[in-house]
C-alpha cells in the first residue's frame, strides 16, 4: 500500500506538471515567429539545464503556485482552531490561506473569508487552476469559508471544528457543491 506522503507527491506532480510546462519559458530560443519565449520541456525545467547565472531570479508564476500547493499540503492534518493562523496553534480557513500565501509568496492577505472573496479576479468554476481560492457559504448566502484549489476538483482547507483539521476535500462532494459560492485568482506577484 502506498504511503500517504508518496500518494500526495504523485497527486501533486500530476496537477503541477502541466502548470510548470505552461509557464516555463526559455527566453533564449525563438519561437515560430522569431520571438523569444518557447516553452521548454519539463526535464529542462526540472533539471536546471541552461540555468541562469547565480544571483538572477528564475522564479515564475508556476514556481510560486507549485510552492504554494506543496506548502499547503505539508499542513494537511494540522489542527483546526478558530482564529488560528499558525501551524503551531492551528488554523481557521482564512488563517490557513493567509499563512500559506504569506509564507510562500510574501502576499499579505486579510484574515477573513469574506474579505478574501473580494480580492483578485473572479473566475468561473470551470476555469479553476491550481492555486485559485474557492469560496463557500455555510448557513447564509455570504462567504464564510475559503480553501486553496489543488486541481482535479480537489481543494485544501482548514475545514471546521467538527473535522478539527486541515484536509483535502472534493468540490463535487454533495456538501461542498451545494455551498460553493465563487472562485478567485490572485496575482501572486503583487501586494493586496
Which range among 26-30, 50-54, 136-140, 186-190 has the greatest average pLDDT?
Answer: 136-140
What percentage of the chain exceeds 70 in pLDDT?
66
| 93 classed as catalytic | yes
> What is residue 71's predicted lDDT score, i.e. its pLDDT?
97
> What is residue 108's predicted lDDT score, i.e. its pLDDT?
87
Q: Which of 93, 111, 137, 179 is catalytic?
A: 93
Q: Which of 75, 99, 145, 179 is catalytic?
A: 145
| 179 classed as catalytic | no
Residue 77 above 90 pLDDT? yes
Return the number of other C-beta atoms located less than 10 Å from residue 29's C-beta. 12
Domain boundaries, the chain: 66-185
> What is residue 141's predicted lDDT score, i.e. its pLDDT?
73
pLDDT-derived band of residue 162, with 50, 70 and 90 as boundaries?
confident
| 75 classed as catalytic | no
CATH homologous superfamily for the domain 66-185: endopeptidase domain like (from Nostoc punctiforme) (3.90.1720.10)
Amino acid at each position: 500500500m502506498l504511503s500517504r506522503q508518496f500518494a500526495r507527491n504523485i497527486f501533486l506532480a500530476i496537477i503541477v506538471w502541466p502548470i510548470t510546462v505552461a509557464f516555463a519559458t526559455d527566453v533564449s530560443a525563438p519561437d515560430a515567429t522569431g520571438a523569444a519565449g518557447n516553452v521548454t520541456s519539463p526535464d529542462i525545467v526540472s533539471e536546471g539545464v541552461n540555468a541562469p547565472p547565480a544571483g538572477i531570479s528564475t522564479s515564475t508564476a508556476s514556481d510560486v503556485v507549485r510552492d504554494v500547493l506543496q506548502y499547503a499540503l505539508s499542513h494537511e492534518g494540522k489542527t483546526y482552531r478558530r482564529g488560528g493562523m499558525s501551524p503551531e496553534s492551528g488554523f481557521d480557513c482564512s488563517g490557513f490561506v493567509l499563512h500559506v500565501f504569506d509564507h510562500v509568496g510574501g502576499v499579505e492577505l486579510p484574515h477573513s473569508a469574506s474579505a478574501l472573496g473580494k480580492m483578485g479576479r473572479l473566475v468561473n468554476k470551470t476555469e479553476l487552476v491550481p492555486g485559485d481560492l474557492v469560496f463557500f457559504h455555510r448557513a447564509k448566502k455570504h462567504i464564510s469559508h475559503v480553501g486553496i484549489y489543488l486541481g482535479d476538483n480537489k481543494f485544501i482547507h482548514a475545514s471546521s471544528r467538527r473535522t478539527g483539521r486541515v484536509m483535502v476535500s472534493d468540490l463535487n462532494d454533495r456538501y461542498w457543491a451545494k455551498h460553493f459560492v465563487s472562485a478567485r485568482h490572485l496575482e501572486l506577484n503583487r501586494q493586496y
